[in-house]
Each structure stands twice: as C-alpha cells, then as structure tokens.
Chain A
Amino acid sequence: MKPARFIAHFDIDAFYASVAIRDDPSLAGKPVAIAGSHRRSVVLTASYEARPYGVRSAIPLYRARELCPQLVVVPPDMPKYKSVSRDVFAIFEQHADAVEGLSMDEAFLDFGETTLDDAVERAQSIRAAVLESTKLTLSAGVATGKLIAKIASDRCKPNGLLAVAPGDEESFLAPLPAKSLWGIGPKTAARLETFGITTIAQIAALDDDALRNLFGSWGRDVRELARGIDNRAVEPDRETKSISSEETFEYDVRDEKQLIAALREQTRDVVAKMERENLSASTVGVKIKRANFAVFGRQTHLEEPTRDPRRIFRAAVYCLQRAHLNGAPVRLIGLRVASFTQGEPKQLSLFISPTVSP
C-alpha cells in the first residue's frame, strides 16, 4: 500500500453527558441532558438516549423538556470536564506528531506519512487507551485531509471509526450535501440551491466561470476541497487570538450598575486566562445582545498592552458607555480582549496611583 499523509479527527461521544453517566451509573440507558438550572439555559449536550426525542445541543431547556418529559437534567461540571479533557489530550499527544485541539472534546491528530492500515491501527489504539483511562468512548475519522477526517468521524458516531482510503476522497464526498463543505454556511447553501446545486459532486464539477460567479475569489479553493484535495496542515497549539467571557442574564437587565458588575466579574475571568497563557492585550471590547436579540459591540485600543484588571475593567466600562444603551434592556453582556503580546507588559509607568496609571 502506498504511504500518504494521514490525519485523524477524534471526537468524544456526547462528552458532558457521557461523563455524567459514567459517574452516576443510575443514569445509564436514560435520556440525559446537561444544562444549567438557569431560566434561559440551553442544552449543552444530550445523551444518545435523548436524541431520538429531538433533544440536541443548543436547544432551550424548556423545549427539551417538552420534547422529552422524562428527560433527566444534570447540571454541568466544567472543572471535571476540563480535567477529563486534559487526560484525553495527553493520550493524543503520546500518539501523534502534532495535535490541534478544536475544543475540549475534539482534535485533529497528524499521523505523518504512513499506510492506511497503520493509521487505522493507531486510531484504534488511541480509542482503546482513552476508553481504558477515562471510560469514555470516542469516534475517529481517518483520511488524508482534515475535512474528510472530520466528516468521517461524524458519520460513525457513537463509538465508531471510519477511514477513507487515499484515492477514495472524491467519491466519498460526492453524494454529501453541499453544506458539509467548510465555508458553506446556511446562507451560501440556500443560494446554491437556487442554482440547483445541492451536492458536493455538483460543486466539484463546476467550471471556472461558474465558480467565480458563485463563490468569488475563493471559488477554486472550494472546488479543490469538493474534489477531496485538502492540504491544510494540523496546526498544533493554535495561537490565541482573543479571550472573552460573557453572561446571559436570567432576566433582561436595564440597570447600568448591574451591567458594570457583570463586566467586573468578566474582567477577573479574562485576566485569569491571560495570566495562564502569559499574554497582555491592547484591545478591549464589549459585546451586547439586546432583549430583541440584536447583537453589537464597542471596542477600544489601549496605548500599551496590559493585563492589569483595573485598566481592562475601565476600558470595558468606557466601551459600555459608548454603546449608549440609555436603559434599553440587555440580554447578554460579554467582555473580549485581543491584540496580544507575549509576556507581562514591559513599559513601566511614571505614576503608581491607580487613578492615573492603572
């Protein structure tokens, strides 16, 4: 068999729900949803038993209860998930040349140049090692590119492994809906449909003019992808571009003091993350979702990068004031910092007083 570069995509099956069931065997076989107790909570993860009822992640909890009255709702336990995730990623790191984490329960692994059989064997041994160490199952897609590896792992869930052999990429993708391609969101998919394009095969067959008309400058990239040509590398430790923290209020908030209190809390959160990653930021922004779901933001630039909570908080309050809410009800507020430099701020201040140079 000819060697090729292989990439595997791993995804822990129903991560939060699986952890809950693992730690409370009385939940086994029952429809379980992980969700907060908040009035506006949404389902974070649903167990496979809950999914036939239509319960899936991101739907509001009240809706999930309507769909499945016997649903068992378990509150999330983020510290526990993080610790489990670390264990799983440690196993990934041992078995791959490079690991690109996408979230706590999902990653691409670069297996380098090898044969299909070897790649499948390595993926299986990772699944076995994770099961042994964490008692969790995960699904794996093995292919020569990221896109197909991810689609493959989605299609063999739960607890499966699907490999696409080199040379079979185009035929694997051909029958799939166009929206399975990266970069084709619901809006583009709807537009394509008006031209009668619904499958990846149809995109793969487009000529240059049609590509330009439909997709503009990235048309050729889309067609390459549709033909199974996907040379994107696994990028380990993706650089942090921004750090944010947000809160959806239980009841809409009109009181600016309460919004400021939320920003103060979020400043602590964001600064803690910056310290963990040893970053300083020179952009601070506030995101606001109004009661009518309109989302908008305000941001400001700092003269010197910082991770001083007082400066970040004050910049956030300034952004909030510039949003001119005038008592309009707010559903969500979030704080975001970006434009990072590594390390602690180096520029020393003339003044020590926090009112002058926090």
Chain B
Amino acid sequence: MKFTCNTKDIASAVGAASKVVNAHTTVPILSNVLLQAENGKIAVRATDLELTLEHAFPAEIGEPGSVTVPAKLFSSYLGNLPAGLLELNGTPTRASVKCERSNYDFHALPADEYPPLPAATKGSHFTIGAKRFRDGIDATIFAASSEEARGAVLMGTLLEIEGNNMTMVATDGYRLAKYTTTLDDGIGGAEKYIVPSRALAEASRNLGGADQIAVSALGAQSNQLQMTAGDTSITVRLVDGQYPNYNQVIPAKFDRSLTVNTQAFIGSLRRAELVAGDRASMVKLAVSNQTLIVTASSDVSGNAYEELEVEQTGEDLTIAFNARYLVEILNHIKSAQTVIEFLGPLSPAAIRPVEPLEGGQQLYVLMPLRQ
C-alpha cells in the first residue's frame, strides 16, 4: 500500500484509535492500529475485541492495501510531526514514513491477521441528533458502576428504544441517572441494549463530526451495536444480562420539594464536604422556613454550616447524603435552578433541572445516608 496525506488528519485519527488499544493486551496484533487505503480514503481502526473504533479521512492513494502499526508508538510519533504532508509505504512487515526530510521505518504485523469487523448483519436501526445523543451520554454514564466486581451490567448504560423514544439509564445501585429524548428516525418495535459505558464515552468524544448519529444492532444475535457519524464509527459488544428494573425504584410521587440555585448549592456542598472528611462524606440538609441549611462535621476537621435561600413546598425535612454523589449529579445539571423532591429521610430523592435540556429530560435519583 502507498498513500500521501495530511499529517494532522492521520495524527488525530491514530490518536483517537490508540485510546481504544488495551495497553496490557497479550495478543501482539491488538497493540497495533490497522490502516486501510481504499477509494480515496484511509480508514484507521483499533480494537480491544470489545470495542472497535474506526475513523476515515481523505488521502491520495498511490496503491490500495493495508498495514498495521504499533498504536502508542505511531501515535506519539505522529503527534510530534509538524503540519504538512506525509507519505506512507506499507508492507506486511514494515511501514515506512516520509515526512519532509525525515524517514522512519516502523515494524508492522501482517494486516490480514487483524481481527475483522463483526458480520454486518444489521438488526434494528435508528438515527438520533448528535447533540441529543452526546447530551444523554454526558448526563448518564457517570452514574454507572466502576466496580468491576459487581459485573458488567451495572458498569453498562441501558439504552431503551421504543418507537421514536429513547431512554438512557445508568446506576451503580446508590444513584440513578435517566435521560429521555426523541429520535430522528425510530424503530418499529422496542429494543433494549446494555452498552459498556466506556463505549459511550468514546462515542461522546469521537462522534462530534456530524449532525446525526446512526445506530445499528449488528450480528445474528444483535450482540453488537454500531454508532456512526460521518466517517467515524464505534462498534461495541453489548453486555449480556438483565438490567435491574429501574422504574421500580423511581418513586411515582413525592410529598415535599425544594428549588435551589444550582451553582450556589454546589459551592456549599463542596466546602462542607471538606469538613465531612471521611469516606462517607456525609452532609446533612435541613429544610425549613424556605431555607436550606447544609451542615457537616468531623472530629478531625471541625464543623461546617451553610445557609441557602430556597423555595420550599411541603413539610420540613432533615436528610443526609454523600456530598460526593450529590455534587456529581449537580455538576451534570446545566439549569440555573434545580428541584429536589423528597419522601422522607430514608427514601430516595429525585433531582432534576428546572429548565430541561433542549430535546432531552434528565432525572436523577439518589439514596440518602443513614445518619
């Protein structure tokens, strides 16, 4: 193979792909990225067998073909090149790169040993506005579990598609994030996918180049999901398992609420958390007389007391939360005001923005701490 391209194009494509490569893989070829030259484009692909990222960019193809190059090495090299043109000559064992007056030879591995993409048997297919999808990803995946011992299901994010509606849910068992939106082009029936959250994080990072994202289930058992925007696609193996019945834990009705300035509340919680200190980061919220009092204390650090003006409905309440969880949720709320609804000191609280995101609804549910 042989091609000439812009150094910035190839650097950004290989840079993005190399993030997918598992640094600890024991299969040598999986440390490499695959470059395929065809039809005026170079497709750069990396995979860890669960997640595959492919990005194509235009180039002048001298001779079509493919080559695989060590991802980290090649991406560091490309990152250090000046803007300009680069010429690459690939063989099964070598990739020779010319850029201005420098020449590099990289050891390669035969491209035909690179894992193929999953069979393109397409299942359900839908399209969604890119911004809505990215908003949904940013609003939910942080709430998924990061504890590997609890298994892949809770580390994943649920995508529920029904007709023209999509609901995304992530939970680690202590807090839950839910985002609902509409699709540009829906599906006939209903589908549920548990997507590894890191694949959605990659999608949010890499699928910004187009207005619309196309999503398709792949494989005979629909066990893969492919998300495509323009010349970039991410393919991921879905999590096999039963997602917990999340609707069951979202209370249908609440009996009291408060509306608070989001940024002021975040500030108070962050300061109080410093004092709360220990791992549970316990802050107490007392709501009374249209005032929210945030307190925290520890033997080591001292006492915290913060007052905030709020809009209160229903009876007074004292409840305790892990400040870290609460701040993380509030950090994902763009609205100036946030509503928090309660049932009691040991029941789940619901948190949502007063002004919803354009085209999407956020809801968070957080369990309190036992005092």
Interface positions of A (Cβ within 8 A of B): 282, 284, 300-305, 314-315, 318-319, 341, 344, 346-351, 353, 356-357
- A303-B172, A349-B173 known; 9 other A-B pairs, CB under 8 Å? A303-B150, A304-B174, A341-B280, A346-B282, A348-B370, A350-B174, A350-B176, A356-B173, A357-B173
- CB-defined A-B contacts under 8 Å, sample of 21: A300-B149, A301-B147, A303-B147, A303-B150, A304-B174, A315-B149, A318-B149, A319-B149, A341-B278, A341-B280, A344-B370, A347-B370, A348-B368, A348-B369, A349-B174, A350-B171, A350-B173, A350-B175, A350-B249, A350-B365, A356-B173
Chain B residues contacting A305 (CB-CB under 8 Å) are 279-280
Q: Are A353 and B244 in contact (CB under 8 A)?
A: yes
B264 at the interface (CB under 8 A from A): no
Residue among B172, B279, B346 making CB contact with A348, cutoff 8 Å: B346
Chain A residues contacting B175 (CB-CB under 8 Å) are 350
**Bound form: Cα–Cα A318–B155 in Å:** 15
**Bound form: Cα–Cα A314–B150 in Å:** 8
Distance to closest chain B CB from A347 (angstroms) = 5
**Bound form: Cα–Cα A314–B148 in Å:** 10
Distance to closest chain A CB from B57 (angstroms) = 38
**Bound form: Cα–Cα A353–B176 in Å:** 16
Residue among B149, B176, B370 making CB contact with A302, cutoff 8 Å: B149
SS class of chain B's interface: helix, strand, loop or mixed? loop
Chain B residues contacting A314 (CB-CB under 8 Å) are 149-150
**Bound form: Cα–Cα A348–B172 in Å:** 12
Q: Are B367 and A347 in contact (CB under 8 A)?
A: yes
Given contacts A349-B173, A356-B154, contact A318 B280 (CB under 8 A): no
Per-residue interface assignment for chain B, residues 55 to 75, with 1 indicating a CB less than 8 Å from any chain A CB and 0 otherwise: 000000000000000000000
Interface Cβ pair total, 8 Å cutoff: 65
B322 at the interface (CB under 8 A from A): yes
Q: Are A347 and B348 in contact (CB under 8 A)?
A: no
Q: Are B148 and A318 in contact (CB under 8 A)?
A: yes
Chain B residues contacting A300 (CB-CB under 8 Å) are 147-149
Q: Which 5 A-B pairs have the closest CB atoms?
A: A357-B173, A318-B149, A315-B149, A348-B367, A346-B369
B93 at the interface (CB under 8 A from A): no
Tell me the nearest residue of chain B to A339, going by C-beta.
B279
Chain B residues contacting A341 (CB-CB under 8 Å) are 278-280
**Bound form: Cα–Cα A351–B154 in Å:** 12
**Bound form: Cα–Cα A238–B370 in Å:** 28
Residue among A284, A319, A347, A351 making CB contact with B249, cutoff 8 Å: A351
Tell me the nearest residue of chain B to A321, going by C-beta.
B149
**Bound form: Cα–Cα A300–B150 in Å:** 11
Chain A residues contacting B279 (CB-CB under 8 Å) are 282, 305, 341
Q: Which of B138-185 contact A (CB under 8 A)?
A: 145-150, 154, 171-176
Q: Are B147 and A302 in contact (CB under 8 A)?
A: yes
Q: Are B244 and A351 in contact (CB under 8 A)?
A: yes
**Bound form: Cα–Cα A346–B281 in Å:** 10
Q: Are B322 and A347 in contact (CB under 8 A)?
A: yes
**Bound form: Cα–Cα A273–B348 in Å:** 31
Chain A residues contacting B371 (CB-CB under 8 Å) are 346
Given contacts A301-B147, A314-B149, A318-B149, contact A347 B346 (CB under 8 A): no
**Bound form: Cα–Cα A350–B148 in Å:** 19
Q: Are A349 and B367 in contact (CB under 8 A)?
A: yes
Distance to closest chain B CB from A66 (angstroms) = 45
Chain B residues contacting A353 (CB-CB under 8 Å) are 244
Residue picked from A300, A302, A315, A346, most chain B C-beta under 10 Å: A346
Residue picked from B145, B149, B154, B279, most chain A C-beta under 10 Å: B149
Per-residue interface assignment for chain B, residues 300 to 327, with 1 indicating a CB less than 8 Å from any chain A CB and 0 otherwise: 0000000000000000000010100000
